[in-house]
Amino acid sequence: MAQQQSKPKGRVLIVAGSDSGGGAGIQADIKTVTALGGYAMTAVTAITVQNTLGVTGVHEVPLDIVTSQIEAVMSDLGADTWKLGMLGSAAHVRAVMEAWYAFGDGLPVVLDPVMIAKGGASLLAEDAIEIIRNELMPIAAMVTPNAPEAEALTGIEVRDLDGQMSAAEILVEQLGAWSALVKGGHLRGDTVRDVLLTREGYRVFESPRIETRATHGTGCTLASAIAAYMAQGFELEPSVEKARAYVMEAIRQAPGLGQGHGPLGHNWPLKGKSGA
C-alpha cells in the first residue's frame, strides 16, 4: 500500500451502495464531496433499483470485488477519511472492516449505519446490526444514526432530546465510537435537533424544520459532508456544523424532481462559479 500523506488532501473513500435515482447512496456522496472541494472515490457494495418512490431491487456486489475496489484505491490514490454507508449483509460489514484494518488502519471513519431506505425498504440484514454494534463501531471516528437507527443500535427508545443524548452516550461510552451524532429529523417538532457527543462532551445543534418532500438522501449527504470536511483538515465539531449548513441549503435548493421523496440540490456551492 502506498504511504499515506500526512497533510490532508480532501480524499474521501466512500464505501456504500449505488442509488439509480441519484439522490442517495454513492451518487449523493460523490456529488457532496465534489461540491465541497474534496475528491471522492468509491467501493460499491450493492446496486439498488430505486427512484424517489422507493427501492424495488437490491443486488449485492461480491465480497472479493468490494475488497478489491478498496485495495485498488488505497494502493494508488490513498485517502484522508473513509465514509461507510449501505453495507448490506453481515459478510459485507465484516469484509469492509477487515479491509480497513488491512489498507486504511488509522484513517478516520465516518459511519452512516444505513438500515432502512426513505420509502421503507430494508437495506441492512438483521445479523449485520450486531457486527456493526460489536465490531465496526470501535473504529468509527463518528457514527451518524437517525432516531430509528439509534434505537436499533442501542436498544433504547429515541423519541426526544433526552433519548438522543442517552443513545449517544451508549454509542460512545459503551459501544466504543469516538463520537456520535444522533440526528433528530425523524422526531416531531418545528425544530430539528441533532445531538453530538464527543469525548469532550455534548453539543446540541438546532435548526428550523424545513417543510418539504425533498428529503431523499439527507443522511448520506450529511455523513459525506462531514467526511469531506474532515478530509480537508477540519476537526469533528466544525465539520458537523459546516455539514449541517450545507445540507440545509441543499434542501432549500432542491430541484423538485420525482414524484416521491425528492433529491437535494447537492451542487448549490458550485452555482455561479462556472463563469457562465
Of 91, 139, 88, 95, residue with least CA distance to 113: 88
Residue 78 designated active-site: no
Of 22, 23, 25, 217, the active-site residue reads: 217
CA 39 – CA 77 distance, rounded (Å): 10
Of 31, 83, 118, 183, the active-site residue reads: 183
Of 38, 219, 258, 265, the active-site residue reads: 219
Of 9, 176, 215, 260, the active-site residue reads: 215
Contact 239, 229 (CB under 8 A): yes
Entry field: residues in the chain:
276
Phi, psi at residue 241, to the nearest 5°? -60, -45
Of 83, 154, 220, 265, the active-site residue reads: 220
| Number of neighbours of residue 59 by Cβ within 10 angstroms | 11
Residue 52 designated active-site: no
| Number of neighbours of residue 43 by Cβ within 10 angstroms | 24
The dihedral formed by the CA atoms of 56, 62, 65 and 67, expressed in degrees to the nearest 10? 100
CA 253 – CA 274 distance, rounded (Å): 18
Of 109, 151, 153, 117, residue with least CA distance to 134: 153
Largest CA distance in the chain: 52
Residue 218 designated active-site: yes
Residue 120 designated active-site: no
CA geometry: angle at 203 spanning 200 and 204, to 5°?
A: 165
CA 116 – CA 88 distance, rounded (Å): 10
Of 81, 154, 198, 218, the active-site residue reads: 218
Could you identify the residue written with the cell 424545513?
Answer: 210
Residue 106 designated active-site: no
Helix axes 236-252, 218-231, angle to 10 degrees: 140
Residue 242 designated active-site: no
Contact 139, 179 (CB under 8 A): no
Q: Which residues are known to be catalytic?
A: 183, 215, 217-220
